[in-house]
């Protein structure tokens, strides 16, 4: 319970970096056991306290720290006349919540603990740890290729074309007038590509896992320099079942390999519908049951996808088939729902509001 503190790797002071070089074994151990970093709101690097990489700070000290950081961040944003990153719901735009910033090294926590879904809290997994977030891209994601997923580069190019198919949406995304949300962004493989692509000017990346967002911040470290034509990027922790964004705040939402991880898919899709502006685009990839697995359910008399969805399927389990995924979008009120791909267990869909 010592609450040992260290900043994120790309924000460490020279003395701390030197300590890491002297004792690399300890740094490795801390990373591999997956100790979660403490959330610190959205204070700028030079003004905020270090992030706890050991056990999390407890009690009144931690509460006072977070409140102090939020007040400092709001004061700095007001003084600088900072542009609003995105329109937020009233509950997320005041009080205990920090102001989102275009600094990609800062993670803003916008999860409303009073309304946080019980399913989300109950289903925290290995991928909510630092070790799990690190492993996701370096081992777990490769397994998806056996399910029919293309490589990340190919999937990104396909998703980009689907997001920009409508000329009005494409113009808004390129000019920065319209916001793109990379929902359930994981460790940031797609968020980084959006950020470095001149066709997207303002990108938001959100995930429920703090550890995943720390991976995003690390891969887009300020020391690397902003690529030519790079977007502005804001990182936010958010619950897909209670998104902090205002109604019609976004022109496009992308979710790669995320829908099957949502604790309540119908509620999540309703939230995506709500935050999209009329004509806004939703593009998502997810996974359905491989044919052999589906056949086993059918052998047991479960030939109805609805029965599987209601009685068997839980968070992080595949959907019955691609048609069921498209049907859920239809049910949520999306128009022109298109089943773009259904290779093996890989499902890619597009819908508009």
- Residues 255-267 pLDDT 10s: 999 999 999 999 9
- Which carries the bigger pLDDT value, residue 38 or residue 154? 154
Mean pLDDT, rounded, for 8-14: 44
Mean pLDDT, rounded, for 36-50: 34
Q: Write down the H helix ranges in the chain.
A: 14-22, 24-32, 59-80, 118-122, 130-135, 141-143, 152-163, 167-175, 189-195, 210-219, 265-275, 291-299, 305-307, 322-332
Could you tell me which residues come within 8 angstroms of residue 245 by beta carbon, excluding any fewer than 6 positions away? 86, 87, 88, 89, 92, 181, 275
DSSP one-letter code for 343: S
pLDDT at 240: 95
Inter-CA distances, 283 with 56, 184, 253, 345, Å:
36, 12, 6, 17
Indicate the pTM of the whole model: 0.76
Residues forming beta bridges with residue 187, ordered by sequence position: none
pLDDT at 200: 95
Residues forming beta bridges with residue 107, ordered by sequence position: 235
Closest listed residue to residue 10, CA positions, set 37, 33, 34, 35 = 37
> pLDDT above 90 covers what percent of the chain?
54
Indicate left, alpha or beta for 87 from its phi (over 0: left) and psi (-120 to 50: alpha): beta
- Which carries the bigger pLDDT value, residue 22 or residue 155? 155
């Amino acid at each position: 319970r010592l609450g040992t503190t260290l900043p994120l790797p790309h924000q460490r002071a020279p003395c701390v970096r030197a300590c890491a070089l002297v004792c690399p074994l300890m740094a490795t151990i801390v990373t591999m056991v997956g100790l979660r970093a403490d959330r610190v709101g959205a204070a700028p690097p030079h003004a905020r306290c270090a992030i706890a990489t050991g056990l999390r700070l407890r009690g009144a000290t931690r509460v006072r720290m977070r409140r102090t950081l939020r007040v400092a961040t709001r004061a700095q944003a007001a003084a600088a006349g900072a542009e609003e990153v995105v329109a937020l719901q009233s509950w997320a735009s005041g009080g205990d919540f920090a102001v989102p910033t275009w600094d990609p090294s800062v993670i803003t926590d916008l999860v409303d603990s009073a309304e946080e879904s019980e399913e989300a809290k109950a289903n925290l997994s290995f991928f909510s740890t630092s070790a799990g977030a690190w492993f996701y891209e370096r081992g777990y994601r490769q397994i998806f290729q056996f399910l029919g997923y293309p490589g990340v580069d190919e999937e990104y190019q396909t998703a980009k074309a689907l997001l920009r198919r409508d000329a009005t949406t494409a113009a808004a995304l390129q000019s920065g007038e319209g916001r793109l949300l990379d929902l359930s962004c994981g460790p940031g493989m797609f968020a980084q590509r959006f950020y470095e692509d001149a066709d997207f000017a303002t990108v938001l990346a959100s995930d429920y896992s703090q550890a995943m967002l720390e991976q995003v911040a690390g891969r887009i470290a300020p020391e690397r320099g902003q690529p030519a034509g790079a977007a502005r990027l804001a990182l936010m922790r958010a619950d897909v079942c209670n998104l902090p964004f205002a109604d019609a705040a976004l022109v496009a939402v992308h979710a790669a390999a995320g829908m099957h991880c949502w604790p309540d898919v119908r509620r999540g899709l309703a939230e995506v519908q709500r935050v999209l502006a009329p004509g806004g685009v939703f593009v998502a990839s997810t996974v359905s049951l491989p044919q052999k697995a589906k056949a086993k359910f059918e052998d047991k008399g479960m030939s109805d996808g609805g029965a599987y969805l209601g009685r068997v399927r839980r968070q992080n389990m595949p959907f019955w088939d691609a048609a069921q995924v498209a049907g859920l979008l239809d049910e949520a009120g999306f128009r022109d729902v298109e089943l773009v791909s259904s290779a093996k267990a890989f499902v890619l869909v597009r819908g508009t509001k």
